[in-house]
Amino acid sequence: MSSSSSLSPRVAAIWGANGISGTAMIDLLIEQSSNEWNHIICISRRPFQLDINDKRISFISIDILNSTVDEIVNELEKVNGKMITDIFHYTYIEKSTEDELDQVNKIVLEKALDACVKIAGKTIKSFSLQTGYKYYGVHKTKEDLAALPFIENAPRHQGTNFYFTQEDLLEDYAKKHNWRYIITRPATIIGVAKGNFMNFAVTIALYATIQKELGQPLLFPGNLKSWNRISDHSTASNNARFQLWSVLNENIQHEIFNIANGDLVTFRDLWSKIENYFGIPHCEQKLNENEAQLKLAEYMPKHKDVWIRIAQRENLDEKAFDYATWAFADGSLRSPLDRYGNLTKAREFGWTTIVDTFDGYAQCFDRLKKLKVIPS
């Protein structure tokens, strides 16, 4: 990808670098020429998780939530952060209530913004913020859900939503400091990062691994409505490509985009492909209209001993089981509501890519094998 705006090398700052999305952006940036991107500053709470030998990478391990802006700036100064030109923000902290979620994720974004202003306010060209489909109320009731297909200027639902807060905050800072800002809203993200197993693809992979070990069918943990539900997915590598492309596209100034693979799918379409990937014999699902035939949050803890046996035999990461998001997967797999976004705006700006969603899952499963999370 080439910059159309300047021949000068750019400097990226990636906040939330160890997560699924941050990892995908790092992977993409190190593929770019050093004449385009000559420094990649990675910021995360945990130590650097990627096995990458690239002299352009500088890593900062710091707890943003519990650090002052000056402490963050001090760490950025150590890696020549004054030269930052482009910021990619993926930091996210999970909380149990909407109000807590809103408060804590506002704080981490605000600190990142303040630190960037203080260290590199005059050199920053763009700020890319990733939010998501929760903006459209997919985590709330049917009454709160935006009209389909989701469009970027959809009316906001009532009540608190931390994505509303974050997007408003970035818009205010960008106007004040004359930055370009680009906000991307992906659907369910398909990806994996070392040491970060709290995502849907990993959960499904662990479930399939245990079912194969037991010689049991891969029962769909949902109901008939969710089996036939139409939805889109967002492969992390494709999200990163879009985000980098949009940053380098000078025709894009202050914009918000849905970003998804572009192929609408159902779990009915995906499930047999997942069975086949893991070598599990096909099972004809006997689904109830509303009740899930299996709940992972109840089923999986009863089989932790099976996982320990597999992990010890195959020399895998035993902790992966504890990080899996069984309840989250149950919620995703039981929801009967269609959920998909309109990609017209991205298409109008010239984005034409379509990604096969199952290929995204297969790439994740392949990477989990390399990371010794599931058996090869």
Whether residue 350 contacts residue 228, with contact meaning beta carbons closer than 8 Å, is answered with: no
pLDDT of the residue at 3 = 44
Nearest to 156, CA basis, from 243, 240, 256: 256
Lowest pLDDT segment from 90-94, 96-100, 323-327: 323-327
- Give percent of the chain with pLDDT exceeding 70: 97
| Long-range pairs for 102-107: beta carbons < 8 A, 24 or more residues apart | 102/160, 102/161, 102/162, 102/165, 104/65, 105/162, 105/165, 105/166, 106/162, 106/165, 106/166, 106/169, 107/65
- Give percent of the chain with pLDDT exceeding 90: 86
Helix, strand, or coil (residue 344): helix
Using CA atoms, how far apart are residues 220 and 334, in angstroms rounded to an integer?
10
pLDDT of the residue at 194 = 78
Amino acid (one-letter) located at 348: E
Helix, strand, or coil (residue 185): strand
Confidence of residue 130 (pLDDT cuts 50, 70, 90): very high
Q: What mean pLDDT is predicted for residues 248-256?
A: 96
Using CA atoms, how far apart are residues 26 and 20, in angstroms rounded to an integer?
10
The residue extents of the domains of the chain are 10-188+233-259, 196-232+264-338+356-370
Residue 97 CB partners (closer than 8 Å, separation 6+): none
HSE of 202, CA atoms in CB hemisphere, 13 A: 26
Q: What is the pLDDT of residues 33-50, one digit of tens each?
A: 999 999 999 999 988 888
Q: What is the pLDDT of residues 145-178, one digit of tens each?
A: 999 999 999 999 999 999 999 999 999 999 999 9
Nearest to 116, CA basis, from 73, 171, 179: 73
Q: Which two tokens stand for residue 258?
A: 């849905």
- pLDDT, greater one: 1 or 259: 259
Q: What is the pLDDT of residues 346-375, one digit of tens each?
A: 999 999 999 999 999 999 999 999 999 999
Whether residue 201 contacts residue 325, with contact meaning beta carbons closer than 8 Å, is answered with: no
Mean pLDDT, the chain, rounded, equals 94
Q: Which fold has domain 10-188+233-259?
A: Rossmann fold (3.40.50)
Please determine, for residue 4, whether its predicted confidence score (pLDDT) is greater than 60. Answer: no
Q: What is the pLDDT of residues 190-234, one digit of tens each?
A: 998 877 766 889 999 999 999 999 999 999 999 999 999 999 999
pLDDT of the residue at 48 = 84
Whether residue 179 contacts residue 126, with contact meaning beta carbons closer than 8 Å, is answered with: yes
pLDDT of the residue at 7 = 65
Residue 66 CB partners (closer than 8 Å, separation 6+): none
